[in-house]
Amino acid sequence: DIQMTQSPSTLSASVGDRVTITCRASQSISSWLAWYQQKPGKAPKLLIYKASSLESGVPSRFSGSGSGTEFTLTISSLQPDDFATYYCQQYNSYSPRTFGPGTKVEIK
Amino acid sequence: QLQLQESGPGLVKPSETLSLTCTVSGGSISSSSYYWGWIRQPPGKGLEWIGTIYYSGSTYYNPSLKSRVTISVDTSKNQFSLKLSSVTAADTAVYYCARVRGVYGPDDYWGQGTLVTVSS
């Protein structure tokens, strides 16, 4: 199995801050990585796919980068609507598709 | 606008079989461009992929659940279904259905999720 890790597990930030979340894979997944945002009681929402492609309708303050085993999600200027939990997911293979443990972005 | 809706019992007894259906509206489950999947999330925890199916019936399952999982598709009803047998309290979770963008792609549309509790 490909293991996914995320850091930090919790992040305290203020509106307007630049925020970076890191996701690491236990082996190379090329660029087959997605980022999701989840708010309490809601389904995850796709933000980024193929490591750096912005999903349609997602604000441009979200960006993704990386390849191989190390990836980042950046929010250029944190907005009140962005306080949520963020998950990375590898879809390089079906053995199995795996998610990171999540990063909770909290209000500082 | 594509919509997915999970349905099924919210309470299942230990050792019994959990059965859920996902109804797809606003698009065809028989599209050659998409696969369809199930993901679950225990209360307060992270996301776990359960399995994925193509309209033709080909499936991929999480090895950790493979012995207990069956995913099927009914193209006439635009639905796909999940069966998880021999459930325990550890299977208590919110179960989501989702559309998968291609055989190797992200989950781009999700249902709202349904909480299934395993308890006697």
Q: HEC states along B19-79?
A: EEEEEEECCCCCCCCEEEEEEEECCCCCCEEEEEECCCCCEEECCCCCCCEEEEEECCCCE
Residue B31 has pLDDT above 80, yes or no: yes
DSSP B90: G
Specify the pairing of strand A10-13 against strand A33-38.
unpaired
> Which residues of chain B lie closer than 8 angstroms to A46, CB-CB?
106-108
Among B61, B63, B112, the residue with its CB nearest the CB of A43 is: B112
pLDDT per position as a tens digit, B42-81: 999 999 999 999 999 999 999 999 999 999 999 999 999 9
Min Cα separation B85/chain A (Å): 20
B104: closest chain A residue by CA: A91
Retrieve residue A39's tokens: 């708010």
pLDDT per position as a tens digit, B90-113: 999 999 999 999 888 999 999 999
Min Cα separation B111/chain A (Å): 7
In three-state secondary structure terms, A82 is helix
> Which residues of chain A lie closer than 8 angstroms to B64, CB-CB?
96
User: Could you read off the pLDDT tens digit of each residue along chain A, which spans 108 residues?
Assistant: 899 999 999 999 999 999 999 999 999 999 999 999 999 999 999 999 999 999 999 999 999 999 999 999 999 999 999 999 999 999 987 778 999 999 999 988
